[in-house]
Amino acid sequence: MIGIIDYGMGNLGSVSNAFRFLELDAKIVTRKQEMDACTALLLPGVGAFGDCMAHLVEHDFVDALRSWVDAGKPLMGICLGLQALFGESEESPGVEGLGIFSGTVKKFDLPRELKVPQIGWNRMKEVQPECPMFNGIPDESFFYLVHSYYVCPEDPSIIAGSTEYGIEYCSSVWKDNVFATQFHPEKSQAAGLQMLRNFWSWAEEHK
């Protein structure tokens, strides 16, 4: 079973509906004690980095998520759930992220003709085509994004996919048991649903 972390910020409805459509077993997790019944976790999120971390602290998920990753269990982050995996963000100076990956989250600094936030469909170039979450998904498929900030990993080897919007930036990461995307698979039609299905299969292999 995949546990969808509910910490007060996130597209819980759309993510849950996507798994329901795929007929895959997923449930919303509101307390860290409920994580024990899950084979994998999904960390969604919309809003501001600082609010996200405050809510994770308030709901006592910070250490629980770090321990989950340290134990080698599968975790997927979506949108703000990707950004929260890093140490810090320009959006909320002084706020500590989960620190699962080294690096920072930066705000787009783009020519005036490119609107910020980036809202809409854009291509993802597969930097790590061997990533199991890309199975059955053509390279440079379109995914749906809504964001003003992007992650900048210190270790470029964790970049799984990249996207161009004025600059080329990291739009997905993968290392060991952690995969995360800036885009919203649950809103990205066939390619996004396939990615969620791949995450499910990957999690099953890690049992």
Side chain identity, residue 109 = D
Single out the residue of 92, 79, 83, 2 nearest to residue 38, CA to CA: 2
- Give yes or no for a contact between 11 and 4, defined as CB atoms under 8 angstroms apart: no
| Region class of 199: left (phi > 0), else alpha (psi between -120 and 50), else beta | alpha
Side chain identity, residue 76 = M
- Give yes or no for a contact between 65 and 56, defined as CB atoms under 8 angstroms apart: yes
Q: Would you give the distance in Å from CA 188 to the centre of its chain?
A: 14
Catalytic positions are 79, 184, 186
> Using CA atoms, how far apart are residues 61 and 175, in angstroms rounded to an integer?
21
